Amino acid sequence: MGKAGIDTTGPAQAFEPDRPKAAEVREIGMADIRLALARGWEDFQALRGDFLFLPVVYAALGFAASALAFHQSLFALIFPLAGGFALVGPVAAAGFYELARRREQGLDTSWFHFFDPLRGPQRFPLMMLAIVLAGLFLLWMTVAQGIYANTLGRLAPDGVAEFLRLLFATPQGWTMIVAGNLAGLGFAIAALVIGAFSFPMAVDKACDPFVALFTSVAVFLHNPAPMLRWGAVVAALLVAGSIPLFLGLMLVLPWLGYATWHLYTRAVVR
């Protein structure tokens, strides 16, 4: 007997699990980035008030990490630690996304709403996304340590002055600089692709973390050049905010948090 008349697609499709899909995304350009930065600055001016203490805490943590790294045995990690802050920045910015969202909708923007994502339905997707970025950060630190151990670490520099001399005056130091920067660039792009819009979307919709992550990836794939420009802007502002002693992050972090929200609203169909 033949198998004519048997539907081989309908029943099988009925048992296929629903798979997370990215949200619809839009094309963005430099005009959108400039507008996001401008509106982010407006939010910063309107919402800075009682709330500056959180960036102060973040800046203090960065300063403490740097002070620790100045210990002779840990000095080589100061640059990976500083660069690693960019990888986990979206986690710290979740509260800023919430305040920007509330201001956009004309809701109360009192400082305590910063913590709403930690106690609302957004908590689970944010936690899962934070774990992804934390894993990326730990992998970056492992790679950075490996690069140091296989280049400058073989010369066993004795003290900070010796470390700096060997860094800029030896082939091993030059190799470490080049390899470290290339690896850091790769990790920074990975963090940009994963975290740029997944965290704002999780705050906005409390959606499945995979949907938020896939949407962030979709925005990057749809707008690679503008997103790389956005990443360069973020990196430049973070570097500027880190000098001196990370104190400029008190301004840069809220501004970038608010600006990222506005870029998200232009890149993702809500």
What is the pLDDT of the chain when averaged over all its residues? 85
Give 198-217 pLDDT, tens digit per residue. 999 999 998 999 999 999 99
Query: Is 82 within 8 Å of 264 (Cβ atoms)?
Result: no
Closest residue by Cα to residue 52 from 252, 263, 213: 252
User: Which residue type, as a one-letter code, is found at position 168?
Assistant: F
Is residue 98 predicted with pLDDT exceeding 90?
A: yes
Mean pLDDT, residues 125-140: 94
> What pLDDT shows up at residue 251?
85
**CA 156, CA 178: separation in Å to the nearest integer?**
19
- The CA distances from residue 267 to 40, 67, 91, 220, in Å, are 15, 39, 20, 10
Give 233-247 pLDDT, tens digit per residue. 998 998 887 776 667
Higher pLDDT, 59 or 153: 153
Where does the pLDDT of residue 92 fall: very low under 50, low under 70, confident under 90, or very high at 90 and above?
confident
> What pLDDT shows up at residue 145?
92
**Can you name the residues that pair with 257 across neighbouring β-strands?**
none
Phi, psi of 149 (to 5 degrees): -60, -30
Q: Where are the domains of the chain?
A: 25-105+119-267
Higher pLDDT, 162 or 78: 162
Where does the pLDDT of residue 169 fall: very low under 50, low under 70, confident under 90, or very high at 90 and above?
very high
**CB under 8 Å, gap of 24 or more: what pairs does 136-142 form?**
136/87, 136/187, 136/190, 136/191, 136/194, 137/84, 137/87, 137/88, 139/187, 140/80, 140/83, 140/84, 140/87, 140/183, 140/184, 140/187, 141/77, 141/80, 141/81, 141/84
Which pTM does this prediction carry? 0.84
Give 57-83 pLDDT, tens digit per residue. 666 666 666 666 666 566 777 778 777
Residue 214, both tokens = 């896939």
Phi, psi of 212 (to 5 degrees): -60, -45
Is residue 141 predicted with pLDDT exceeding 70?
A: yes
Where does the pLDDT of residue 130 fall: very low under 50, low under 70, confident under 90, or very high at 90 and above?
very high
> What pLDDT shows up at residue 6?
41
Residue 69, both tokens = 């790294």
**Can you name the residues that pair with 268 across neighbouring β-strands?**
25
